[in-house]
Amino acid sequence: SQLAEENPWALSVHEGESVTVNCSYKTSITALQWYRQKSGEGPAQLILIRSNEREKRNGRLRATLDTSSQSSSLSITATRCEDTAVYFCATGWGANTGKLTFGHGTILRVHP
Amino acid sequence: GPKVLQIPSHQIIDMGQMVTLNCDPVSNHLYFYWYKQILGQQMEFLVNFYNGKVMEKSKLFKDQFSVERPDGSYFTLKIQPTALEDSAVYFCASSFSGGSTEVFFGKGTRLTVV
């Protein structure tokens, strides 16, 4: 079974709309990270939210974390075509959270 | 922003041959990683490396795999001999510290074993 899983599998919106990707995880964590991966590129970190934080913002992005339900969400407001990518949540544990466990990702397509 | 460079971007190799994937991590980073992503599947951790030593490796890091970073040059992943199931995209990553920190990824090397 997956240690981190995003849902839904895919989303399709028009520019300007808001969208939310959810993540559930199965292990204790020290931090959860949201990454975006565009076609032909490696993952790029969007937000890192630590286990003692409930919300973190980065521009149009907002991440929440609920350690009691082991879930997180990433919301993007005022989406743009360039937000089209696969979005991953990745969990880490302990002193070496460079070791990340990724889910399958949510494919987001933003149409003009 | 900081970049991790991977060379080459694509590699095709005959089964049984040796291959070396090269990674130029962010210059002041101290922790280095390799991840493997088979087409259509999630990215999976292979190994991390710090202070000249492997710190942790997953069960995907077979005996045929090895990593090194001689004298601060490229961080390399060597597979010898290669097998068909080694076909995947291999991502190198680096970070300044091993704690809750941003991990920077390269664009990956697509390895095809034929």
Q: Among B32, B44, B40, which Cα is nearest to B5's?
A: B32
- In a mutational test of the B interface, the residue from A33, A52, A100, A106 whose CB has the highest number of chain B CBs within 10 Å is A100
pLDDT in tens, A18-40: 999 999 998 888 888 999 999 88
Interface of B with A (CB under 8 A): 4, 31, 33, 35, 41-45, 48, 55-56, 91, 93, 95, 98-108
Shortest distance between the Cα of A17 and any Cα of chain B, in A, equals 27
**Quick one: what percent of chain A has pLDDT higher than 90?**
71
Tell me B85's DSSP state.
G
Q: What b/e readout covers B47-79, taking b as 16+ CB neighbours within 10 angstroms?
A: bbbbeeeebebeebbeeebebebeeeebbbbeb
Side-chain-facing half-sphere of B105: CA atoms under 13 Å:
26
pLDDT at A7 over 90: yes
- Tell me whether residues B43 and A95 touch, CB distance under 8 A: no
Q: State how far the Cα of B62 lies from the Cα of B41, in Å rounded to an integer.
A: 19
At residue B8, the pLDDT reads 94
Q: Which residues of chain B have pLDDT under 70?
A: 100
pLDDT in tens, A37-76: 998 888 999 999 988 999 999 999 999 999 999 999 999 9
Q: Among A105, A99, A95, A97, which Cα is nearest to A43's?
A: A105
Residue B16 burial (10 A CB sphere; 0-12, 13-18, 19+): exposed
- In a mutational test of the A interface, the residue from B23, B34, B43, B75 whose CB has the highest number of chain A CBs within 10 Å is B43
Q: Among A74, A39, A41, A45, which Cα is nearest to A60's?
A: A74
Q: State how far the Cα of A109 lies from the Cα of A95, in Å rounded to an integer.
A: 35
Tell me A44's DSSP state.
E
- Tell me whether residues B99 and A105 touch, CB distance under 8 A: no
* Mean pLDDT, range A1-21, rounded to an integer: 90
CA A100 to mean position of chain CA atoms: 13
Select the residue of B55, B93, B100 nearest A97 (Cβ to Cβ). Answer: B100
CA dihedral B93, B98, B100, B103 (to 10 degrees): -10
- Tell me whether residues B99 and A103 touch, CB distance under 8 A: no
Q: Among B85, B107, B6, which Cα is nearest to A39's?
A: B107
At residue A95, the pLDDT reads 55
At residue B70, the pLDDT reads 85
**DSSP output for B31-54:** EEEEEEE-TTS--EEEEEEETTEE
- Tell me whether residues B43 and A102 touch, CB distance under 8 A: yes
At residue B58, the pLDDT reads 92
> Which positions in chain B touch A103 (Cβ < 8 Å)?
42
- Amino acid at residue number B101: T
At residue B23, the pLDDT reads 97
Cis bond leading into B81, ω under 30°? yes
